[in-house]
Structures are given as C-alpha cells and as structure tokens.
Amino acid sequence: DVKVTQSSRYLVKRTGEKVFLECVQDMDHENMFWYRQDPGLGLRLIYFSYDVKMKEKGDIPEGYSVSREKKERFSLILESASTNQTSMYLCASSTPPSDVWNSNNEQFFGPGTRLTVL
C-alpha cells in the first residue's frame, strides 16, 4: 500500500515564525502536492512538484515556498507565518501515467497537519 506520512498531526506556531511541514512518500512517486483545506473553500492546491528540485505554483502559492531535494520528500515552508495560514495542510503523491493506454495517476493523501498560527 502507498503510504504518505506528514511530520506532525497538530502544530501551533506564532505569527512571524518560519514553519516547515514535511511530507514523505514510500512509493517512489514522481509527483507530489501540497494542499490546504478550509471550511467553505474546500481543497486548494498550493504547490506541486513533478521531479526532484522541480516545483510549480498551484492556485494559492503566496506566502509559501517548497523544497524537494529528494524524490520521497516534499517540504512546505511558511516563510513568516500569519494567522490567515491557520488551516489543515494535506500532502499527496502520485505517479504520472505510464503510457497512452494507461492513464492511471491515482493520487494518495497523507493524514494532514492541522496548523494553528497564533
């Protein structure tokens, strides 16, 4: 089974702190994603990466950065945490389709990190 793990289930930080959220997957997936989930706004993509050292902005990248130094690990960084970044953060991974006859790119999620910024 695919396993995606996140470093913390709950995290409390203060405004202005630099925050690191870590995600590790054990299935050798090329693609990794960071989302945030908020009531009434649903899941929104922050950043994704399709290879080591590669990154692409999602829908809401402002205030965030990412790092992918190894294939299995994708980190989300809040450079200077603010109260509006209080949210549930979800990491996911997938493998790209193997060929035109098999477009299976099922995405698997971690357990989430509930971040509170005071």
Partner 1 sequence: KQEVTQIPAALSVPEGENLVLNCSFTDSAIYNLQWFRQDPGKGLTSLLLIQSSQREQTSGRLNASLDKSSGRSTLYIAASQPGDSATYLCAVHLDSWGKLQFGAGTQVVVTP
Structure-token pair, residue 4 = 């995606």
- Length, in residues, of the chain: 118
**Residue written as token pair 């054990």:** 26
Pick between residue 62 and residue 106 the one whose CB is nearest to partner 1. Answer: 106
Q: Is 60 in the site for partner 1 (CB under 8 A)?
A: no
Q: Among the candidate windows 14-22, 68-76, 78-86, 88-96, which touches partner 1 by CB under 8 A?
A: 88-96
Minimum distance, C-beta of residue 110 to partner 1, in the bound complex (Å): 5
Taking residues 5 to 44 in sequence order and writing x for each that binds partner 1 by CB under 8 A, - otherwise, the string is --------------------------x-x--------xx-
Count of other CB atoms within 10 angstroms of residue 37: 14
- Closest CB to partner 1 among residues 45, 60: 45
Out of 47, 48, 64, 74, which residue is the one contacting partner 1 (CB under 8 A)?
48
Q: In this structure, how many other beta carbons lie within 10 angstroms of the beta carbon of residue 115?
A: 21
* Helix, strand, coil percentages in the chain from 3-state DSSP, rounded to 5: 5, 55, 45
Alpha-carbon distances of 71 from 32, 58, 93, rounded to whole Å = 9, 19, 11
- Decide: helix, strand or coil at residue 85: helix
Residues that bind partner 1 (CB under 8 A): 4, 31, 33, 42-43, 45, 48, 50, 58, 88, 90, 92, 94, 96-97, 102-112, 114
